[in-house]
Amino acid sequence: MKKIISQLFKKLFVKQWVIGISRGSIKDIIRTKIFNPNIKWLELDTIDHFRADPFPLKDKNGDINIFYEDFHFDEFYGDISIMTIDKNFNQSNHKTILDTKSHLSYPFIFEENQHIYIFPESAQSGKLACYDYNSEKRSLSFVKDIINLPLLDSTIIKYNGKYWLFGTIGGKNSNRKLFIFFSDNLLGPYTPHKENPVKEGPNGSRPAGNFIEVDGNLYRPSQNCQNQYGESITINKVIFLDENAYSEEPYMLICINRKNKLNRRIKAIHTINILDDLIIVDGLKWTFSPKNQWKNFKRNRVYLKQLKSNKNADNYPTENLL
């Protein structure tokens, strides 16, 4: 009975991911294992979309840009957009920079040789692509396809002279199995790790942001999907990484502090990235709106029927069915 009541209760609220920003020291957070910053949650202009997977980038003028997934309920897919924030975390200059008419998210950023490369999740297309970002035009240009696999939340780090690509693969185990690929070059070709999947389980597999280095140690943010998609973030400490073996251990858990009034209506957190003293996250916000949630529910059913006839249906991120 409780489960039925819970499901009915959820249908009264629209669930939207929103971006949050705070100032703080990630080193202090890692060292103390305490996460309780005062987060400013950026307001959404309408209830018809959400913003998730924020990745920050400072431009030549010192302005802070945030790349993010902008998911529209009426179109039922996400595009990659960009915004600018000022020192008071006011947002402006929103712009869509990549819309393929299929789902995009998690715009991972890698800077190399005076290029800014963006690797958005495009699992619905069945492959991972790389784009070059032009900061003057605020635009993306296609570079090449990196891997012909429906990788989710691909995260790359350069370590011991090689590039290591971490991600899960779309399908039934999209939140449970971690895969690694490595290459001598950022743009590939990439070789699967011998131990793939290198980790299994709903807590700590799927990436949740860029690697963090503190006191000579590497830490990998990952999603905790033990009870629900993206409920919190598990920070893993990397113990060993080479072409033949990989090991990590859970280090700390990042959750939303419900007692902090700034986090009112925020129920979950599933991405964290750092830029200098800025901590950028996203949180799942519940807004009471039975009319809009019922509209979303009916729309979801229609799209699910359409997906069943799509050859890439298994790659679609059904976690957007909130």
Choose the weakest-confidence range: 3-7, 56-60, 133-137, 177-181.
3-7
Q: How confident is the model at residue 43 (pLDDT cuts 50, 70, 90)?
A: very high
Task: Count the neighbouring beta carbons within 10 Å of the beta carbon of residue 164.
Answer: 22
Alpha helix stretches (DSSP H) within the chain: 2-10, 26-32, 290-308
Residue 7 reports pLDDT greater than 70 = no
In tens, the pLDDT along 74-129 reads 888 999 999 999 999 999 999 999 999 999 999 999 999 999 999 999 999 999 99
Mean pLDDT of the chain: 91
pLDDT of residue 307: 61
How many Å apart are CA 280 and CA 266, to the nearest integer? 15
Q: Of 147, 155, 207, which Cα lies nearest the Cα of 177?
A: 207
Residue 234 reports pLDDT greater than 90 = yes
Handedness of CA 138, 142, 143, 145 (dihedral sign): positive
List the structure tokens of 98. Answer: 């990549």
What percent of the chain clears pLDDT 90, i.e. is strictly above it? 80
Cβ-contact 218, 212 below 8 angstroms: yes
Residue 302 reports pLDDT greater than 90 = no
Residue 243 reports pLDDT greater than 90 = yes
Residue 52 reports pLDDT greater than 70 = yes
HEC sequence for 98-139: ECCCCCCEEEEEEEECCEEEEEEECHHHCCEEEEEEECCCCE
How many Å apart are CA 318 and CA 322, to the nearest integer? 9
Residue 311 reports pLDDT greater than 90 = no
How many Å apart are CA 186 and CA 221, to the nearest integer? 21
Residue 72 reports pLDDT greater than 90 = yes
Q: For the residues 267-277, what does the mean pLDDT come to?
A: 97
Q: For the residues 249-269, what does the mean pLDDT come to?
A: 95
How many Å apart are CA 83 and CA 94, to the nearest integer? 4
The fold of 2-320 is: Tachylectin-2; Chain A (2.115.10)
| Start-to-end C-alpha separation, the chain | 21
pLDDT of residue 290: 82
Choose the weakest-confidence range: 34-43, 62-71, 302-311.
302-311
**Lookup result for tokens 């402006």:** 92
**Cα–Cα separations (whole angstroms), residue 263 to 25, 28, 38, 88, 282:** 19, 21, 8, 18, 11
pLDDT of residue 1: 56
Handedness of CA 259, 261, 262, 267 (dihedral sign): positive
Q: Where are the domains of the chain?
A: 2-320
pLDDT of residue 321: 47
Residue 256 reports pLDDT greater than 70 = yes
Cβ-contact 321, 305 below 8 angstroms: no
What percent of the chain clears pLDDT 70, i.e. is strictly above it? 91
**Lookup result for tokens 């000579």:** 216
In tens, the pLDDT along 164-208 reads 999 999 988 899 999 999 999 999 999 999 999 999 999 999 999
Helix (H, G, I), strand (E, B) or coil at 213: strand
Residue 232 reports pLDDT greater than 90 = yes
Q: How confident is the model at residue 292 (pLDDT cuts 50, 70, 90)?
A: confident
